[in-house]
Structure 1
Amino acid sequence: MSLTLKTLKILLGMLVGSSTAFAQTPPDQMDLYLLVGQSNMAGRGATDAASKPNSPKIWAINRHNEWTMATDPLHEDKPAVVGVGPGLTFAQEVLKEYPDRPIGLIPCAVGGSGIDDWLPGVRHEQTGIYAYDEMLARVKEAQKRGTIKGIIWHQGESDSSPEKKDAYAAKLADFFKRLRRDTHTEDVPLVVGTLGDFYVAKNPAAAFVNDVIADYAKDTKRVYLASASGLTHKGDDTHFDAPSARELGKRYAEAFLKAKE
């Protein structure tokens, strides 16, 4: 029995549609990585051709709990300004070491958030996001498709003031104690990043915060350090440009992979 041209077109459309849907279906089990902090984790670098690798082995869950192949920007905290951060490059570097283990990223950074904005029930004024609560909900959804294997954190600019810096160490430790308990990641490697040299140059209190971050990594089990030393900003003395954000992602991955050895 011959098929009409119209029928063939309908069948072809159904085939293309089903293959596209299949391509956007993430693996049933992935190694999950939680990306947390403020704007330099979310990313503010300019996107380019490398921002869309279209890798079927690197996925990200968005604020609507939808999985898509990971592209920059990963985060949705401030849609008008978000861009390239360290998370995607981190995933690409980890995948090189474990090519048979698909990755699921859980982007939860909130630009402009101080450490107090990461308390349960707290609404971040700039974005209206309940950072901690939304993070927990997204983690629980993501864990249906895998297990958290690592956490990367970049935050501290908003706490780099004479008024806030002295309380930062205790608050940082309390935050991670709560985070690990609530996400069942007590033994998962955590990598914390230092603030950029350029930020320290314009804000001396940031040097104190960097010391707190470095000491926390040195003194705490299963915590490792990614240095931002030598990296450059995008012209605002605050945010890494895209090349530096990607280099920072490589440094996060290097610290994480050493922890796995």
Structure 2
Amino acid sequence: MSEDKKQIFILSGQSNMAGRGGVIYDSHHHKKHWDGVVPPECHPHPSILRLNAHLHWEQARDPLHADIDHKKTCGVGPGMAFANTVLERVGGTMGLVPCAVGGTAIKEWARGEHLYESMIKRVKFAVEGGVGEVKALLWYQGESDCQECDVEVYKEKMEKLIYDVREDLSLPLLPFIQVALASGDKKYIEKIREAQLSIKLPNVVCVDAKGLTLNHDNLHLCTEAQVQLGKTLADAYLCNFCSSLESQ
């Protein structure tokens, strides 16, 4: 791959991928706001770009999903810590494609639905003209499916999503790194986690977020946890899929 070709990473799923690290509820004004704290691991870098909502490339910085998950208050997610860690190891130019939207269930990411089609459109634009190469899709979703009517079909729908994305992007072995839930309805979370951890498709790996520190809402990862998750996702990518390291 030429040095100027972007290494494209898709960030998708729901709120914990979109990022809620540092999001605080202001009881006086009855609204949420981001505290603005950016850890060193998430600092902007000229070689880390993001595709914004208007399909323009710009320097990436948190909150990465501010104009994508625009109906919610976004904060720190795993994307910048992931990108900085990968950049440090392999160099080049990172192209992040944020697609996550909070509160979304797996059925809303099915082929033909708006979220799915928007994601595919954004990724195709990112590689148009051969200027980028999709390296992996990072997926953190499932909290909205922690209910009786969804848990039994989650694995089937997740596997279908992987097949469809690979087919529509003409990348039959696209690396897919998913996150096993850290939070959700206690009655059903283990069923969703079991489904996530049991997927055995080629080039699909799962990292576990269980035990990472949550915000006061007991649903979203705090800033420090998002940094940790980003590094874990980077390690999963580098260890399982990064051919650039083989020649070093």
Query: Smaller-chain TM-score range?
Result: 0.7 to 0.9
| One of 178, 186, 196 as aligned partner of 1:192 | 178
1:64 equivalent in alignment to 2:64: no
TM-score normalized with structure 2 length: 0.85
Q: CA deviation at 1:188?
A: 2.4
Higher-Rg structure is 1
More divergent stretch after superposition (155-164 vs 49-58): 49-58
TM-score by length of 1: 0.81
Question: C-alpha deviations, 1:212-258, integer Å up to 9, x for none?
Answer: 10011xx2110111111220111101100111011111111111111
Aligned mates of 2:145, 2:233 — CA distance in 1: 22
**Conserved in 1, the CA contact under 8 Å of 2:162 and 2:176?**
no
Alignment of 1:1-261 (within 5 A): 28-46=4-22, 47-50=36-39, 53-75=43-65, 76-99=68-91, 101-122=92-113, 130-144=114-128, 145-196=131-182, 199-200=183-184, 202-216=185-199, 219-260=200-241
Instruction: Show structure 1 runs of 4+ deviating over 6 A.
Output: none
Contact 1:78 1:111 in 2 (8 A): no
Separation in structure 2 between the aligned mates of residue 178 and residue 95 of structure 1, nearest angstrom:
29
Distance 1:260 1:172 in 2: 20
- Structure 2 equivalent of residue 15 of structure 1: none
| Whole-angstrom CA distance in 2 between matches of 1:255 and 1:136 | 23
| Gapped regions of structure 2 (runs ≥ 5) | 23-35, 243-248
RCO higher in 1 or 2 (8 Å CA, sep ≥ 6)? 2
C-alpha distance in 2, partners of 1:117/1:146?
27
Higher-strand-fraction structure: 2
Task: Give the secondary structure class of the aligned counterpart of 1:68.
Answer: strand
* CA distance in 1: counterparts of 2:216 and 2:236, whole angstroms: 28
Q: Structure 1 residue 79: deviation in Å? A: 5.0
Deviation string, structure 1 residues 63-91 (Cα, Å, up to 9, x no partner): 10011111011112135411111111111
Q: Aligned partners of 2:70, 2:19: CA distance in 1, in Å?
A: 10
Higher helix proportion? 1
Unmatched segments (≥5 aa) in structure 1: 1-26, 123-129
Q: State the shift of 1:43 in Å.
A: 0.5
**What SS class does the counterpart of residue 97 from structure 2 fall into?**
strand
Partner SS state of residue 39, structure 2? helix
* Residue 17 (structure 1) aligns with: none
One-letter identity of the residue aligned with 2:112:
G
Amino-acid identity (%): 34
Equivalent position amino acid for 1:141 in 2: F
